[in-house]
């Protein structure tokens, strides 16, 4: 029997149970199964609308799952557990995910909230996608970056929604796939051209960085789970060891005539799957390395596996500063523009969990005595626009300097 969320509070009262009281300004959300039955002790996570609309606060390797809505919420959201009647609370406009065993789901809280006192339903089910990656012998391949795009893509067939990386068993499980918007770029293209957007009946799953050959097209049906196996027949796996002061983790590899590919993170290595024999550049947040054809660098450690240690550039000085938001909390999970003044961008940085940013300064180039850092994206959107000015000492190559703790000012 399907339970109507609009009657839930009345049912609780009739049972003599105290009604769940959400914090002021928050909505009441009830986690249910597909039949509408409330689920107690479900794990839930929510993030405000501004954090989900602008996800630049996801740093480096974390961008490997930026389009996977459920995983972003699970990894970074405010965690709550539903009460004995399946109830939790979230603010207007928030995205909220829930999980109970094999069941998962995502919804968005309306903004403004409806005038009724009924609980908003968050139905969870076992709908999922599974993507497996194997080599030509059928052995699983971990750390492969997986993307997807609509089958009728006309905007740019190289632009993919990034779903995440395969685990140690070569599998990526995508929970609550209905929350992933595969058509966003296509809708934008149609709107810009004044055309009618036609949704694709299928999705193309790809192994990023390996060209158009490693792909599979699957017809998608709402609420129907699918499994995809991508067989990587011609590739090399490169494991990069980055310098100690390298932050954030993650590299972008670019090669002539090939689309850039991001590394994934496996243990303490940055991992890249790519086609053999390519000359490439490797770009971190604040530094780039130019590599010759990796096949000419050194013999592979194993079949199609190379290990490369990236050197710390001799001319770099490392500057750290711990930043607090205006409310005194660490300014963690923020993206910053680093600029000489309000108009000229000099660099960008992402904060660590304690609010620390790391800047690599090329001592062979002129540097100002002060730089301005300003939040442009944050897991806490109220911090956007907060800023401060850092005073730089005279720096020498190889120097490591900590500028102490500073509090950001409001815009």
Q: pLDDT band for 163, please (50, 70, 90 cuts).
A: very high
Q: Which one, of 398, 396, 401, lies nearest residue 357 by Cα? A: 401
CA atoms within 13 A on the CB side of 409: 7
Q: Does the pLDDT at position 409 exceed 90?
A: yes
Spans of all domains in the chain? 5-123, 128-232, 236-309, 316-407
Helix (H, G, I), strand (E, B) or coil at 296: helix
Q: Which residues contact 354 (CB under 8 A, 6 or more apart)?
A: 322, 330, 332
The DSSP string of 131-174 is: EEEEETTS-B-TT-EEEEEETT--S-TT--EEEEE--TTSEEEE
Alpha carbon 35 to chain centroid, angstroms: 31
Q: Report whether CATH 2.60.40.1120 matches the domain 128-232.
A: yes
Q: pLDDT band for 189, please (50, 70, 90 cuts).
A: confident
Domain 316-407 CATH (choose: 2.60.40.10, 3.40.50.1980, 3.40.50.10710, 3.20.20.150): 2.60.40.10
5-123 and 316-407, same CATH topology? yes
pLDDT attached to residue 280: 76
At the topology level, CATH places domain 5-123 in Immunoglobulin-like (2.60.40)
Percent of the chain at pLDDT > 70 equals: 86
Which of 116-120, 151-155, 237-241 shows the lowest mean pLDDT across its residues? Answer: 151-155
Q: Does the pLDDT at position 228 exceed 70?
A: yes
Spatial contact of 293 and 278, defined as CB atoms under 8 Å apart: yes
pLDDT attached to residue 11: 44
Q: What is the pLDDT of residues 351-403, one digit of tens each?
A: 999 999 999 999 998 888 899 999 999 999 999 999 999 999 999 999 999 99
Q: Does the pLDDT at position 220 exceed 50?
A: yes
- Measured CA to CA, the distance from residue 361 to residue 359 in angstroms comes to 6
Q: pLDDT band for 6, please (50, 70, 90 cuts).
A: very low
> Once rounded to an integer, what is the mean pLDDT over residues 88-114?
95
pLDDT attached to residue 368: 84
- Measured CA to CA, the distance from residue 156 to residue 196 in angstroms comes to 17
Q: Which residues contact 70 (CB under 8 A, 6 or more apart)?
A: 97, 104, 106, 174, 175, 176, 179
Q: What is the pLDDT of residues 298-325, one digit of tens each?
A: 545 555 678 888 889 999 999 999 999 9
Helix (H) or strand (E) holding 8: helix 8-14
pLDDT attached to residue 347: 83
């Amino acid at each position: 029997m399907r339970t109507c969320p609009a009657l839930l509070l009345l049912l609780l009262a009739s049972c003599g149970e105290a009604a769940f009281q959400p914090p002021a300004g928050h909505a009441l959300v009830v986690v249910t199964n597909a039949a509408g039955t409330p689920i107690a002790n479900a794990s839930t996570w929510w993030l405000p609308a501004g954090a989900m609309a602008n996800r630049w606060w996801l740093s480096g390797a974390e961008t490997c799952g930026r389009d996977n809505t459920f995983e972003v919420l699970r990894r970074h959201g405010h965690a709550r557990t539903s009460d004995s009647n399946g109830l939790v609370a979230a603010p207007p406009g928030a995205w909220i995910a829930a999980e109970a065993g094999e069941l998962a789901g995502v919804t968005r809280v309306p903004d403004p909230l409806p005038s009724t006192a009924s609980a908003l339903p968050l139905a969870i089910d076992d709908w999922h996608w599974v993507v497996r990656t194997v080599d030509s012998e059928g052995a699983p391949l971990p750390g492969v970056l997986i993307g997807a795009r609509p089958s009728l893509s006309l905007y740019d067939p190289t632009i993919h929604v990034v779903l995440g990386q395969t685990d140690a068993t070569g599998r990526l499980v995508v929970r609550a796939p209905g929350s992933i918007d595969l058509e966003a770029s296509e809708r934008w293209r149609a709107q810009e051209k004044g055309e009618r957007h036609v949704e694709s009946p299928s999705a193309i799953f790809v192994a990023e960085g390996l060209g158009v050959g490693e792909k599979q097209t699957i017809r998608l049906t709402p609420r129907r789970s699918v499994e995809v196996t991508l067989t990587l027949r011609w590739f090399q796996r490169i494991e990069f060891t980055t310098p100690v002061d390298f932050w954030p983790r993650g590299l972008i590899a670019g090669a002539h005539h090939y689309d850039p590919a991001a590394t994934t993170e496996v243990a303490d290595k940055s991992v890249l799957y790519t086609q053999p024999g390519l000359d490439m550049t490797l770009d971190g947040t604040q530094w780039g390395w130019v590599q010759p054809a990796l096949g000419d660098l050194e013999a592979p450690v194993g079949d199609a596996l190379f290990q490369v240690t990236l050197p710390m550039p001799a001319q770099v000085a490392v500057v750290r500063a711990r930043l607090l938001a205006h409310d005194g909390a660490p300014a963690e999970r923020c993206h910053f523009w680093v600029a000489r003044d309000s108009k000229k961008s000099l660099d960008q940085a992402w904060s660590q969990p304690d609010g620390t940013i790391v800047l690599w300064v090329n001592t062979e180039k002129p540097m100002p005595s002060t730089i301005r850092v300003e939040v442009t994206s944050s897991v806490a959107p109220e911090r956007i626009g907060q800023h401060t000015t850092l005073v730089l000492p005279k720096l020498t190559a190889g120097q490591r300097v900590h500028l102490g703790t500073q509090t950001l000012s409001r815009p």
